[in-house]
Amino acid sequence: MKEKKLVHFVEWKKLTGPEEEQVIRDLPRWGVTEIVAHPVWGIRNRTDKEYMAKIRRMLGEAGLHTPACHAFWGDPYDLAFPDEPVRKQSMAQHCGFIKELAEMGVKTYTVHLGNGPEIEKELAWSRIRKSVDDLLPAMRNGLSVDGKL
């Protein structure tokens, strides 16, 4: 049977600066080689344009790989978000983050659909289709999107 690698999820939003750097250095010592990229990295990159480059450098130095990322989630980032101008802006933010993640080797980007029971199904799926169409140009690098309810 083919050996599978575990991909570890670290709650990066609870770590900053020196703590973050220390955890990145420690993970390989704990046997970790694969981690999930975290949406807080994209949020931090909005105010510090060098943040993602710094994370990529530290991960590379530590020998860590990021095959997957959990997308921004919650209102307004869910694909079925009802306010069209806000949904479009959120999809643009997803696309910018996806492009940064491609440089890290991320291949899977997990999004939340946001089509809960309070939303009329056909309308929700129409918005989800629009959102996927909006995300497609950013996924030209081979990255795939995985949806969660």
Residue with the bigger pLDDT between 63 and 1: it is 63
Q: Tens digits of per-residue pLDDT, 34-59? A: 999 999 999 999 999 999 999 999 99
Rounded average pLDDT over 72-85: 90
Query: With 60 as the cut, is the pLDDT of residue 103 above it?
Result: yes
Read off the DSSP letter of residue 64: -
Q: What is the pTM of this model?
A: 0.87
Distance CA 76, CA 83 (A): 8
With H, G, I as helix, E, B as strand and everything else as coil, classify residue 147: strand
Q: What local confidence, expressed as pLDDT, does residue 117 receive?
A: 67
The partner residues of 144 in beta bridges, in order of sequence, read: 108
Q: What local confidence, expressed as pLDDT, does residue 22 receive?
A: 96
Q: What local confidence, expressed as pLDDT, does residue 148 receive?
A: 61
Q: At what angle do helices 39-47 and 51-62 cross, to 10 degrees?
A: 130
Torsion of CA 63, 66, 72, 78, to 10 degrees: -170
